Chains A and B, each alone.
Chain A
Amino acid sequence: MFAFRAGDAASPRSRELPVGLADRIRPTTPVAGRLLPVPPALAPLFPDGALRRGSTTTVAGLPGHGATTLALALLAAASQTGSWCAAVGLPDPGVVAAAELGIDLRRVVFVPHPGQGWAEVAGDLLPGVDVVLVRPPGRARQTAARHLVARARERQAALVVLVEHVSAWPEGGDLALSVGALAWEGVGRGHGHLQGRRAEVRVSGRRSAGRAVECSLWLPAPSGVVAAAEVEDGPDGAGPDDGPKAA
């Protein structure tokens, strides 16, 4: 049981745990060292309430539907607590938006144009930084994807993969977040200004442990940060209070 939360993340046992059991067990040793904080509004998306070192999280969404906002927001709390982060392959990063999302710009490097070597660049960064956000230019090669996932696990860094559709990442993810935008608010036909976007984020993936969580979020809220909209329970009743809070 140790192996699931607190043991070696590379252990294959975590994946073999029965779904029901995986949902019930709780850590018996401190997990704080293995977790990287996320903004409070995003904690309900994660079984541990935080990004887990060594894990791979995919963030999928059509362009313009908020996936970049969500992916960048995953770096915010980690960078604020002193973790180094990197964003690879975001060609035109909105630095102001990143700052508004709470990212400490002193702790984040951008590699906007890694070219064909995006996977190698991400692989170079995984030993040095705690969170690597990578956007492959198209569908990732299976070998490159598998290598990166293994390297993240081995180096105990969190890998966040930004894709248009989850199928563009052949390795799947420990956790898969899909973003669907609902609507922008604050803007009308010729008046107001963009204030916030409501979005639905659905969580799946092998580490979601059978929880089908769906969250309503502001991606972003009018202040530029991510925030919880009213949360709707998933089909199995799993709500935001189901998981432990961010360490």
Chain B
Amino acid sequence: MELERLVVIWCPGLREEGARGEEARRFVHVVARAGELCPWVHPIRLGVCALPARGPSRFFGGEEMVVSRLVEVVEEEAQVGVADGLFAATLAARSGLIVPAGEAAEFLGPWSVATLARPDLAVTLQRLGVTTLGQFAALPSADVSDRFGADAAACHKVARAESGELAGLRDRSIERRLRVARGEDPDVGSEPPPYQPGFFGGASAADTRAALSFARVQERLGVDAVLVGRVQGGRDPSEQAVLVPWGSPESGAGPGGAPWPGRLPPPAPTDVLRAPRRAEVVDRTGRAVEVTGRGLLTAALDRLSVDGGPWQRVVAWAGPWPVTERWWSVRRRRARLQVVTEDGVARLLCTERAQWWVEALYD
């Protein structure tokens, strides 16, 4: 799984705290204004905040729309960028760029190794003739890790756009500083502090043990094999949740955020199929059931077959709930039904252009 796409809002005028502390108050306002537009806005450090791009991008009809809306609402001089992973997204914001998905490594290539904010490493690398992130990324991982140690190895992964997180990228005290700026009790968080897995401090012995075991699995299967879940806004069960690699920048965020309108009421399905399965639904006469333009079924459901399998009698169903896509999207008219078959199994079905799909299972 690739790095999460992030939108970063960069307010150059608010990056240093002045004597009167006004910058923090203004930044609180930026975070609040952005948060009114999109869920999941996280302050990273003074003057910099980030949010997941995927949900808002769907909601507003593209990343360009999200960026322009954000620039409009924040009421500060701000640059906004989008890229895969926090590090690249931050640099993208400094340049006001949207870096296409999957191209973070190419984007990072020309930047100086100094952007890693590791002066010692930068000097050493420059002595070796390595001045850009691209050159650094081209070094073999094992050599970097052996020769320069774990922190340089982390930097190397960032340069390769295999990770977006770097120690020092986030100001760990930013939430507290903003609470002070809001006039709140700095020690009483409205939510538990975001837990940051990984080797960047604050870990108990149990956390370290857990991290080691996850790293072993990553060695065995790859970095993307170990995932953590996060709940966000969205209409579909698959949109409401994302799985991101353990240790990636946004993996530390906890559940929360207001659900977006239109989601199905709980309980949610336990198995959300990444690859929906084809299904057929017929009425008593064996005719395929469809959903009309008005969102009505052409007939009562009678039998269901999944993947060409045996027919099963439908004993109950709910819906159809039309899935209304916004005007900017490709014209899609979909509808969703919950269907219970005679064996007691409940599935979430979706139909589009007379084709039925099983999207999820309630196991």
Contacts and interface: CB of A to CB of B under 8 A. Distances in A.
Interface of A: 61-69, 72, 82-84, 90-100, 104-115, 117, 120-121, 124-129, 181-184, 186-197, 220-224
B254 A97 contact: no
B1 to A, nearest CB: 10
A100 B266 contact: yes
Chain A contact surface mostly: mixed
Contact of B231 (A61, A95, A196): A95
A119 to B, nearest CB: 12
B361 A64 contact: yes
Interface in B320-346: 338, 340, 343-346
Given A187-B318, A189-B317, A65 B229 contact: no
Nearest to A124: B216
B344 A97 contact: no
A106 B228 contact: yes
B318 A191 contact: yes
B123 interface: no
Nearest to B340: A184
B58 interface: no
Interface residues of B, number: 59
Contacts of B273: 92
Given A94-B268, A100-B267, A106-B195, A66 B241 contact: no
Nearest to B1: A112
B73 interface: no
Given A96-B241, A111-B227, A120-B220, A129 B268 contact: no
A107 B207 CA distance: 10
Contacts of B242: 95
Identify which of A190, A221, A223 gathers the most chain B CB atoms within 10 Å of its CB. A190
A61 B363 CA distance: 9
B344 A181 contact: yes
B62 to A, nearest CB: 25
B206 interface: yes
A115 B221 contact: yes
A193 B264 contact: yes
Contact of A64 (B226, B317, B319, B346): B346
Smallest CB-CB A-B distances: 4 pairs: A128-B213, A64-B345, A95-B241, A95-B229
A94 B213 contact: no
B358 to A, nearest CB: 11
A124 B214 CA distance: 8
B363 A190 contact: no
B311 interface: no
A93 B226 CA distance: 13
30 contacts: A62-B343, A83-B206, A92-B272, A93-B229, A93-B272, A97-B269, A98-B229, A104-B254, A105-B230, A105-B231, A106-B252, A108-B228, A108-B229, A109-B246, A110-B227, A110-B243, A114-B225, A126-B213, A128-B213, A181-B344, A181-B345, A182-B344, A183-B344, A184-B346, A189-B316, A190-B301, A193-B264, A194-B346, A197-B346, A222-B267
Interface string B231-268: 10000010011110010000010110000000011111
B209 interface: yes
